[in-house]
A and B are shown apart, each in its own frame.
Chain A
Amino acid sequence: MNAILDKLFLNTTKFIAIAVLLIVAWIFSTLIEHSMVSLEAFGFSFVTESKWAPNLEKFGALPAIYGSVVSTFLAMLLAIPIAIGIAIFLSELAPPKLKSLVGVSIELLAAIPSVIYGMWGLFYFVPIIRDIFGGIGISMLTAGIVLSIMILPFMAAVTRDAMNTTPDILKESAYALGGTRWDIIKDIVIPYAKAGIIGSFILALGRAIGETMAVTFVMGNVHKISLDLTAPATSIPVTLANEFTEADTDLYYSSLFELSLILLIISFTIISVAKFYFLRRKRSF
């Protein structure tokens, strides 16, 4: 009896564990299958064509891809220095009480749903951008800034964790040699935690590029490549969120699936690079 139950338990758990792999494979194959119409109609030109005109049955993904890349780049550009600043403050500067208070609140802020960052962006940040830069305030720049604020808590927390892995004995030795705090950070902490820090940034990048709700409110969903950052734009997730329920033809529908597929491949690649190239060491348990 016990032998049967043992086998049953093993096989149930194993089956469900393997099901996780199957689901992922199923996601890819479904997205590919539903992209077929668009893949056949446009081929590679889908990603190089910049005209997205559902009424003319013309779909080019370049503006969305461009928007995803630029808004994410802006977000990283703004968030990286501030995240490093917060991490240095938390791991090296703050007194212990402040350290845990600020540290915990940052971790909790990372749990706030992104739709709330988007809502805040729409009601409070869009008017500020409008007043400073003119235009309507709904723009690539606004999206980049709101996105940077949204990923900031996650980035700061993981950067701090990476910095905290530096053994105290190394830091103490360097202090004993007369190093200043900055000397210790630049010559001991950063070299020691480099892989972890870079890995965390890339992981944040992978999350940011797939982020939908924080940017949907403030980007405008305009399929036009504009070098003017204060002009409305779109990104892959923004297009999906706005247009998925409106797709009325097979080609339109299929083009949106191809966009999802592109997004999934991009983020899978970025996250894999972060996980396997930079963060491998962490997984030694």
Chain B
Amino acid sequence: MTHTQKRVLLNNIIMTLSTISAIIGIGFLFWILGILVINGVDALSWNIFTQEGAPPGYEDGGLKHALIGQLMIVGVATFFGVPFGILAGTYLSEYGQKSKLAETIRDVSDIMMSAPSIVIGAFVYAIVVVPMGHFSGWAGSIALTIIMLPIILRTTDDMLQLVPSTLREAAFALGAPKYKVITQVVYRGAKAGIFTGILLGIARVAGETAPLLFTSFNDNFLNTDMMEPMASLTVTMYNYATSPYEDWQRLGWAAAFILSMFILTLNILGRIFIMKKREK
């Protein structure tokens, strides 16, 4: 066999192997997705949206408590996480720029984005749950806000930096003060990017389970008082899936399906916004 033939053979072997590994990897992922859709759609019914949790054995249990709890916990986290994240990101891009302080904040938030979320749960347990004496919806929201903050901060920072400096200069030349330049010119230029960042940030915290386990805890019935323990889709999913009761496990799959669809929709919407922006 000539040298060339050997190289071609080796090439073919490796390309086949990498195609096979791609098929294996993608196959596994679609297997999971398939199971999620089959079990989820199978378990869906109107009861899920209209009924609260029921003891095992009762047919008509639903997820209303978890859906509302999830919306409240994530909603409150978004309410605080988004404005704080945007303002902090604004400082980095518009004022701090390449200063040591700004660079340090960027580095620390980059690390925080990948830090274990269960540790955030432990932290919030120590600073909120212990002083209060019990689990609460607030504690869950605070944990999610801490997780969301660096994500919004970094996307805002990146997106504002993409706004051409000529736009800022033009506004300055008209005599506008800096805060007006930022709020009326720079924010407008980066609108789509920031919005995508917000969607992805919400999608990211909506799927968090670990930091809620010992902050918002769980409740099998509807509770809208943020001072009390609160159900979330993720923790409910965990509790139901690990229970030995088949009807609870079914509800677990329904919760998994609803949550995944919500998160995928946010991700896809985010992509569409960014793509639209690029086309312009």
Contact = CB atoms under 8 A, between A and B. Distances in A.
Interface of A: 2-3, 5-6, 8-10, 12-14, 16-21, 23-24, 26-27, 30-31, 33-34, 81-86, 88-90, 93, 102, 104-109, 111-120, 122-124, 149, 152-153, 156, 180-183, 185, 203, 206-207, 209-213, 216-217, 237, 240-241, 244-245, 256-257, 260, 263-264, 267-268, 271-272, 275-276, 283, 285
A170 B24 CA distance: 30
A104 B268 CA distance: 10
Contacts of A89: 18-19, 21-22
B35 interface: yes
B109 A20 contact: yes
A119 B11 contact: no
Contacts of B264: 108, 111-112
Contacts of B101: 17-18
Contact of B105 (A21, A116, A271): A21
A137 B245 CA distance: 19
Given A10-B95, A21-B108, A271-B115, A83 B18 contact: no
Given A93-B18, A275-B110, A34 B214 contact: no
B116 interface: yes
A108 B207 contact: no
Contact of B32 (A26, A120, A210, A267): A120
Interface of B: 7-8, 10-11, 14-15, 17-22, 24-26, 28-33, 35-36, 84, 87-92, 94-96, 101-102, 104-112, 114-123, 125-127, 146, 149-150, 153, 158, 161, 177-180, 182-183, 203-204, 206-210, 213-214, 217, 234, 237-238, 241-242, 249, 252-253, 256, 259-260, 263-264, 267-268, 271
Closest 5 CB pairs of A and B: A210-B116, A85-B21, A113-B207, A13-B91, A180-B11
Contact of A207 (B19, B114, B203): B114
Nearest to B113: A271
A12 to B, nearest CB: 6
Contacts of A24: 108, 112
B22 A85 contact: yes
8 contacts: A13-B91, A180-B7, A183-B11, A210-B117, A216-B238, A237-B118, A244-B214, A260-B123
The A interface is mostly helix, strand or loop, or mixed, namely helix
A246 B83 CA distance: 36
B108 A20 contact: yes
A219 to B, nearest CB: 12
A283 to B, nearest CB: 8
B126 A30 contact: yes
Given A106-B29, A109-B33, A264-B115, A20 B234 contact: no
A2 to B, nearest CB: 4
Contact of B118 (A122, A181, A212): A212
Given A112-B260, A116-B256, A207-B114, A27 B123 contact: yes
A13 B31 CA distance: 46
B105 A23 contact: no
A8 to B, nearest CB: 8
Contacts of B256: 115-116, 119
A256 B122 contact: yes
Contacts of B107: 275-276
Given A86-B25, A93-B15, A149-B29, A13 B234 contact: no
Contacts of B242: 122, 217
Contact of B209 (A112, A153, A212, A264): A212
